[in-house]
Structure 1
Amino acid sequence: MRFFNLTLLLTILVILSAVDASWFLSRFKKFNRRGRNRKLGEPAPIGVEEIQDGN
């Protein structure tokens, strides 16, 4: 039972770190895209707004 609890905790930690890394990457890409190669009036990349709402 103790081993199962440890595995569950580790799994949750891995999932959270993966979500955090993807959120950071999407923020960084959006920041890069803002000035240079994004056309005027082009919609933001899909998924960025939902991720920001979650945090």
Structure 2
Amino acid sequence: KQALFELILEKFSGPREKFNYYMANLNEIDDALAFGAEKAKMVANEVLEKVRNKLGY
């Protein structure tokens, strides 16, 4: 059991460190989400503009 536990700890040490980093730096997550939202908004506006042009608005 101990060997399995140590293997699991070793296997997930990288993702755990990454998780701990981002939990300590939540502003990076907020920045990434804001960037993604802005990018999605730009794409959506382009699509909406094409639809409006096709519909004659």
Partner of 2:33: 14
Runs of 4+ in 1 over 4 A off after TM superposition: none
Q: Which moved more, 1:7-16 or 1:28-37?
A: 28-37
Q: Which has the higher helix share?
A: 2
TM-score under structure 1 length normalisation: 0.54
Aligned-residue CA RMSD (Å): 1.4
TM-score under structure 2 length normalisation: 0.52
Answer 1 or 2: higher relative contact order, Cα 8 Å, separation at least 6: 1
Give the share of equivalent positions with the same residue, in percent.
9
Consecutive unaligned residues of structure 2, counting only runs of 5 or more, are 1-20
Partner of 1:33: 52
Consecutive unaligned residues of structure 1, counting only runs of 5 or more, are 39-55
